[in-house]
């Protein structure tokens, strides 16, 4: 098992994400999906794993976000980013993204690898859906040939329900983040919708993201 970097989430998942798996974090924009990626990366760096962050944003933006979320940035992953990295992430050239990603993974074969990416939604929006389904299916399959765990984020508000359903089938695990309105308060909730090797988990958990980290606690209606 591979730690998510968030102890409370690890205990829900009985020790973390399964080896050689792909996990999709779904939720509306701004809700804190990226925080899961930041802590997952940080945990990997502490354990000496090879960590690769593939993003359509500039490296500086991600580092600033990490600091805001209380994630130490003394160790950083390798980047494939839109700016600030030796290898560029060009959303209009998705084949180069997968090529660079696979190359980086190949170079580090023998080590445990963690890949975090936020390019699922942009690529799905900018390219024909059938092409993207084949693309992700092939890419995830190839990456899992190595000792690799992939954590991807997708914006729920960018896709139709059918697209989300099709996307969910591509991944071994789905973590869903939602907002629940209760009177005048708004509660952020987390659910593990599916996870490879785990019985279905239907319960929701409260979560909060702050500069002290991410906390997950049981949700009582």
Interacting residues toward another protein by CB under 8 A: 28-32, 34-35, 56, 64-65, 68-69, 91, 121-122, 125-126, 155-158, 178-181, 184-189, 191, 202-204, 209, 219, 221
Least Å distance between CB 175 and another protein?
14
The least CB distance from residue 38 to another protein, in Å, is 11
Is the Cβ of residue 65 or residue 142 nearer to another protein in the bound state?
65
Q: Is 58 helix (H, G, I), strand (E, B) or coil?
A: strand
CB 41 within 8 A of CB 77: yes
Measured CA to CA, the distance from residue 106 to residue 187 in angstroms comes to 42
Least Cβ distance, residue 65 to another protein (angstroms): 7
Of residues 7 and 188, the one with the C-beta less far from another protein: 188
Note whether 211 and 68 are within 8 A (CB). yes
User: CB of residue 204 vs another protein: minimum separation in angstroms?
Assistant: 6
Query: DSSP labels for 165-216?
Result: HHHHHH-SEEEEEEEEEETTEEEEEEEEEE-TTS-----EEEEEEETTEEEE
Paired residues of 151 in beta bridges: 23, 116
Please return the burial class of 166, using the count of CB atoms within 10 Å of its CB with bins 0-12, 13-18 and 19+. Answer: middle
Q: Which is nearer to another protein, 103 or 180 (CB)?
A: 180
Choose between 33 and 112: whose C-beta lies nearer to another protein.
Answer: 33
| Residue placing its CB nearer to another protein in the complex, 40 or 50 | 40
Residue 91 CB, shortest distance to another protein, in Å, is 6
35 Cβ contact list (under 8 Å, min separation 6): 69, 71, 209, 214
How far does Cα 136 stand from its chain's mean position? 14
């Amino acid at each position: 098992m591979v730690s998510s970097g968030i102890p409370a989430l690890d205990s829900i998942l009985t020790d973390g994400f399964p080896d050689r798996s792909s996990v999709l974090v779904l939720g509306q924009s701004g809700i804190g999906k990226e925080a899961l990626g930041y802590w997952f990366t940080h945990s990997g760096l502490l354990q000496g794993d090879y960590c690769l962050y593939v993003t359509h944003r500039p490296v500086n933006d991600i580092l600033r976000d990490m600091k805001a979320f209380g994630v130490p940035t003394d160790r950083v992953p390798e980047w494939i980013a839109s700016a600030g990295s030796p290898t560029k992430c060009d959303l209009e050239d998705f084949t180069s993204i997968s090529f660079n990603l696979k190359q980086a993974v190949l170079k580090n074969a023998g080590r445990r690898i963690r890949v975090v990416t936020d390019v699922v939604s942009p690529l799905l929006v900018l390219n024909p859906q059938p092409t993207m389904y084949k693309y992700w299916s092939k890419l995830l399959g190839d990456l899992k040939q190595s000792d690799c765990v992939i954590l991807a984020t997708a914006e729920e508000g960018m896709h139709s329900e059918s697209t989300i359903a099709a996307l969910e089938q591509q991944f071994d695990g789905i973590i869903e983040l939602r907002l629940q309105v209760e009177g005048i308060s708004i509660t952020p909730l987390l659910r593990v919708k599916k996870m490879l090797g785990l019985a279905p988990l239907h319960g929701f958990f409260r979560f909060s993201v702050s500069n002290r980290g991410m906390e997950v606690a049981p949700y009582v209606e």
